Amino acid sequence: MRKTGLTKNLIIDTDMGWDDLLAILLLLKNPNYNILGITVTGCGETHLNEGVDLALRLLTLGDLPNVPVCKGANKPGQYNHQFPPSFRNMMDDACGLKNSLPEPMGTIDKRMAWDFINDMLTEQENQITILSLGGLTNIDQLLKIKPKAKIENIERIVVMGGAINVDGNVASLNNSKPEWDQGSEYSTNTYAEWNIFLDPQAAKNTFNSEIPIKLVPLDTCDYAILDERYIDLITAQDKVAIFAQHLIKEKVAGPAKENIPLPVFDPLAAIVMTNDILNIYTTRKRIAVKTEEYSEDNTCGKTYVTHDKNIPHMEVTGAISTNDFKNAFQENINSPLTPLDDENITKNVAILVFEQVEMQDFAGAYEVFGAARNNNNTPAFNTFTVSNDKNPKRCNAGLPPTKGSTGSFFNITPDYSFDDAPDIDVLYIIGGEGIDALLKEEKKKPLFVPWIQKTTGSADYVAGTCSGVMLLASTLLLKNLKVTTHHTRFDQLKAFSNDNKLNLQVFDTRNGENYLHNPNSKFMTSGGVHCGIALALHIVELYQGIDKKEALATNVLEYTIPRGVSHPQSYTPHSVDPEHFVLGFSHLNIIMDSTKMMDEATEFYRKTLGFRESWSVWLSPETCKHFAKDAGFGDIDAKILVRFLVHPNAQFHLELMYYEYPKGEQTITFHKTNDVGGIRHVALEVNNIIDVYDWLSDMDGVKMLSDTPPERLAPDPQTFFYWLDPYGVQWEMEEGRPMARVINGIIG
């Protein structure tokens, strides 16, 4: 799974049922979320102590034993609604799989759930998302804290709960087994969904609060019904994926199977939160909750649309694409599990060579694998070459020499032959001009193809890069996949696929991700030299995690080169070449009139252009003081919410800002296409903010918005100033954002 933007802070509030476990397993593999803690309620599917124990075990399974786990409420704030006792006992045992989970390495955090959340809201700089996967009792307790919790630092609560235009599920569970019958209050309640029914007053209080809410009701869950096909979607062999597969087996075919169609519930809410479902219908509604209990035809816990303006709007999801959800589930669960910080690996990587291989293909891959290191500075990969024999193989630098000329080449002597090669974890097949002659020889006397077929059986991954993809395709092992190769070989690969009925979709990745890898397959392909380096780094990520991959690319390989001059020469004012001080494009700034508009704009840019939220933060009072001065407002109080959106493919950013105060013009003015003037604020990253300030101050036509040099936004590292050009454009020059993050599609 790709990392997009900075990791977002997340707290999971859960009752640790089977679907909660699956949702947490998915999030353990998601590099875009930093799990600050898990808060457990004893008002739901598991008993409190047993739920806490399961949370600790699950975090140990996911190599995150230090993530805090806190106890929450042991009983609801209203009524005493409970799941059937035998059902809860089954959930306490993780559907019979508790003993297959590791013993907890972490310990229980002594804080109550709401106190822990309150502390995080105070301590964390960036806003926090809360994923609510059970009753809302813990959140209700947070709202009652005095002095009032800093709920403005909750980016949103994503709630799996409610049933708007469909039947609830309280009666259906109650009536499905005789031992689960708890009386008419349950058996006649066809309106409520369980998470709301457990503590309806807590749900009502939460819905009526000032916190932005995204509701994932049963209306959406009915598009994701659990069945045996989900078992086959899981192909990864790490411990998290294996446990998830066993858990699904228990729910669809084991003793824990229920007699009613079972939605996926909480995993769906988790994936809705991550915005990984492309086709999803979302509306803004006011949702009310019935809290009165009746002995017959019970409507307690019913959620319904109201026009009462005292109840704030919330986002409510509706129909989704079932296929989109399955694809997102598959990608998430089969993504690599980031290893422990102190985990060291040694994997055997074999680079397959042949006569007239491409030097750059070989050197790029060899450099990546050879430079990768463990924390103890030992090589992460044992990289070697292998071929049909140990005779030297000519390695071309570019095109092969013409007949009669010596050209540029050198020889590679393979480390191993097919007969004596050690066990291979990664087989890396490079390209070169010699591929056509090799394929011709393979038709006469197959040597490479049968060896690749045999080696693939025990290898973790098999990669084909550049024209080497043609050799990999010749094994007929690539089937029903999206693939790529060098752009001069697209037609050849398409024709080969058609002739052999491989059903390959050939993509041009030169301006995209550079490589293709379906997470449920061991095969991966890339284009030429630059793309092959990206593919090799992807393999490093699969074994070592995204942080080590990014450090290797940036600090060792210098693989990501900033657009423009990355390290311009030092200069003094008035002897500057302005071509040198601009490092890159930073972001576009758009002003919102409310947090509601900010949420609407976030969703709009996601739907229309594919932007994802990177981070969101209310600037601290100290930062606001510096900000107001450097933005030209003078020495006044300010309160400002900043949200960055990142486009994961275009490396392009939007900065949404809401000034609670000071207020500016609140009317949006639209310009005609040919009006003079333009974007309100364009930001450029520079390498010496004070020198640039002095330089521009002396330029004719430049109007500075502040008459004093900028100050650092302490405690933040950024420094900036605004200026106006004669043509109606406001510019920001800024220094202090790490350029590796800017170029990689991350601002912060």
Listed in sequence order, the residues at least 6 apart from 247 whose beta carbon sits closer than 8 Å to its beta carbon are 18, 21, 22, 94, 95, 97
Domain at 79, CATH number: 3.90.245.10
In this prediction, residue 673 carries a pLDDT of: 59
Domain at 683, CATH number: 3.10.180.10
* Band of residue 715 on the pLDDT scale cut at 50, 70, 90: confident
Give, in order, the Cα–Cα distances in Å from 241 to each of 1, 233, 333, 457, 518: 14, 10, 6, 20, 16
Give the chain's domain count: 3
Residues 355 and 395 in one domain: yes
Assigned domain for 123 exists: yes
State the DSSP H helix or E strand holding residue 471, giving kind and residue range, or none if neither. helix 468-473
Bond preceding residue 255 cis, omega within 30 of 0: no
The three-class DSSP label of residue 475 is: coil
Q: Which whole number is the average pLDDT over 323-347?
A: 86
Give, in order, the Cα–Cα distances in Å from 62 to each of 26, 242, 326, 328: 10, 12, 22, 19
Listed in sequence order, the residues at least 6 apart from 588 whose beta carbon sits closer than 8 Å to its beta carbon are 653, 654, 655, 679, 681, 682, 683
Residues 261 and 369 in one domain: no
Residues 513 and 629 in one domain: no
Beta partners for 72? none
Domain range holding 622?
Answer: 578-743
CA 165/CA 93 separation, integer angstroms: 34
Assigned domain for 2 exists: no
CA 342/CA 18 separation, integer angstroms: 31
DSSP 8-state code for residue 165: S
- Domain termination site, one of 490, 520, 544: 544
User: DSSP letter string over 189-247?
Assistant: --S--HHHHHSHHHHHHHHTSSS-EEEE-HHHHTTSB--THHHHH----SHHHHHHHHH
Strands 515-516 and 719-724: unpaired
In this prediction, residue 684 carries a pLDDT of: 77
Residues 230 and 265 in one domain: yes
Residues 316 and 267 in one domain: yes
Least confident range from 182-186, 200-204, 402-406, 655-659: namely: 402-406
Q: Which two tokens stand for residue 307?
A: 């026009």
Residues 479 and 538 in one domain: yes
* Band of residue 222 on the pLDDT scale cut at 50, 70, 90: very high
- Please report, in angstroms and rounded to a whole number, the separation of the first and last CA atoms in the chain: 21
Assigned domain for 550 exists: no
- Domain termination site, one of 527, 544, 561: 544
* pLDDT surpasses 90 at 178: yes
Angle at 169 between CA 168 and CA 170, to 5 degrees: 105
CA 691/CA 701 separation, integer angstroms: 18
User: What does pLDDT average to over the chain?
Assistant: 89
Q: Which two tokens stand for residue 316?
A: 């409510």
Assigned domain for 562 exists: no
Bond preceding residue 147 cis, omega within 30 of 0: yes
In this prediction, residue 674 carries a pLDDT of: 74
Q: Which whole number is the average pLDDT over 522-549?
A: 90
3-state DSSP of 417-470: ECCCCCCCCEEEECCCCCHHHHHHHHHHCCCHHHHHHHHHHHCCEEEEECCHHH
Assigned domain for 393 exists: yes
In this prediction, residue 748 carries a pLDDT of: 40
In this prediction, residue 258 carries a pLDDT of: 84
User: How many Cα neighbours within 13 Å face the side chain of 253?
Assistant: 9
Contact 211, 154 (CB under 8 A): yes
Assigned domain for 567 exists: no
Assigned domain for 455 exists: yes
* pLDDT surpasses 50 at 313: yes
Question: Can you give the length of the chain in residues?
Answer: 748
Least confident range from 334-338, 569-573, 638-642, 685-689: namely: 569-573
Residue 480 Ramachandran class (φ > 0 left, ψ -120 to 50 alpha, else beta): left
CA 667/CA 244 separation, integer angstroms: 51
Q: Which whole number is the average pLDDT over 381-396?
A: 94
In this prediction, residue 498 carries a pLDDT of: 96
- Four-point Cα dihedral 483, 485, 487, 488, nearest 10: -120
Strands 652-661 and 639-647: antiparallel
Tens of pLDDT, residue by residue over 80-125, are: 999 999 999 999 999 999 999 999 999 999 999 999 999 999 999 8
CA 399/CA 629 separation, integer angstroms: 60
User: Within 10 Å of residue 216's Cβ, how many Cβ atoms?
Assistant: 30
CA 4/CA 646 separation, integer angstroms: 7
Listed in sequence order, the residues at least 6 apart from 624 whose beta carbon sits closer than 8 Å to its beta carbon are 637, 638, 639, 640
* pLDDT surpasses 90 at 429: yes
Residues 318 and 356 in one domain: no
Tens of pLDDT, residue by residue over 281-300, are: 999 999 999 999 999 999 99
* pLDDT surpasses 60 at 203: yes
Measured in whole angstroms, the distance separating CA 525 from the mean position of its chain's CA atoms is 22
In this prediction, residue 315 carries a pLDDT of: 95
Residues 58 and 163 in one domain: yes
- Four-point Cα dihedral 498, 504, 505, 506, nearest 10: -80
- Domain termination site, one of 544, 562, 592: 544
Using the Cα atoms of residue 347, residue 352, residue 358 and residue 359 in order, give the sign of their dihedral. Answer: positive
The candidate with the shortest Cα–Cα distance to 464, out of 381, 521, 420, is 521
Residues 14 and 129 in one domain: yes
* pLDDT surpasses 50 at 570: no
Assigned domain for 27 exists: yes
User: DSSP letter string over 631-700?
Assistant: TT--S---EEEEEEEEETTTTEEEEEEEEEES----S-----TT-S---S-EEEEES-HHHHHHHHHTST
In this prediction, residue 746 carries a pLDDT of: 40
In this prediction, residue 400 carries a pLDDT of: 54
User: DSSP letter string over 551-586?
Assistant: HIIIIIS--SPPSS-SSPPP--TTS--HHHHEEEEE
At residue 159, φ and ψ (nearest 5 deg) are -110, 120
* Band of residue 406 on the pLDDT scale cut at 50, 70, 90: low
In this prediction, residue 231 carries a pLDDT of: 94
User: Within 10 Å of residue 162's Cβ, how many Cβ atoms?
Assistant: 28
In this prediction, residue 574 carries a pLDDT of: 47
Residues 597 and 534 in one domain: no
* pLDDT surpasses 50 at 517: yes
Q: Which two tokens stand for residue 454?
A: 């045999």
Tens of pLDDT, residue by residue over 660-676, are: 999 998 887 766 657 77
In this prediction, residue 742 carries a pLDDT of: 43
Listed in sequence order, the residues at least 6 apart from 212 whose beta carbon sits closer than 8 Å to its beta carbon are 154, 155, 156, 157, 314, 315, 595, 599
Residues 503 and 591 in one domain: no
DSSP 8-state code for residue 40: E
Q: Which whole number is the average pLDDT over 156-177?
A: 96
The candidate with the shortest Cα–Cα distance to 393, out of 417, 421, 425, is 417
Measured in whole angstroms, the distance separating CA 475 from the mean position of its chain's CA atoms is 34
Q: Does pTM surpass 0.75?
A: yes
Considering only residues 380 and 510, tell me which one the structure prediction assigns the higher pLDDT: 380
Domain at 493, CATH number: 3.40.50.880
In this prediction, residue 232 carries a pLDDT of: 92
Task: For 543-558, give one letter per residue: b (16+ CB within 10 A) or e.
Answer: bbbbebbbebbbeebe
Considering only residues 501 and 590, tell me which one the structure prediction assigns the higher pLDDT: 501
Residues 262 and 319 in one domain: yes
Beta partners for 38? 12, 69
* Band of residue 563 on the pLDDT scale cut at 50, 70, 90: very low
CA 80/CA 172 separation, integer angstroms: 19
The three-class DSSP label of residue 109 is: strand
Tens of pLDDT, residue by residue over 54-92, are: 999 999 999 999 999 999 999 999 999 999 999 999 999
Residue 298 Ramachandran class (φ > 0 left, ψ -120 to 50 alpha, else beta): beta
Least confident range from 142-156, 563-577, 715-729: namely: 563-577
In the chain, % of residues over pLDDT 70:
91
In this prediction, residue 565 carries a pLDDT of: 29
CA 283/CA 490 separation, integer angstroms: 43
* pLDDT surpasses 50 at 572: no
* pLDDT surpasses 50 at 573: no
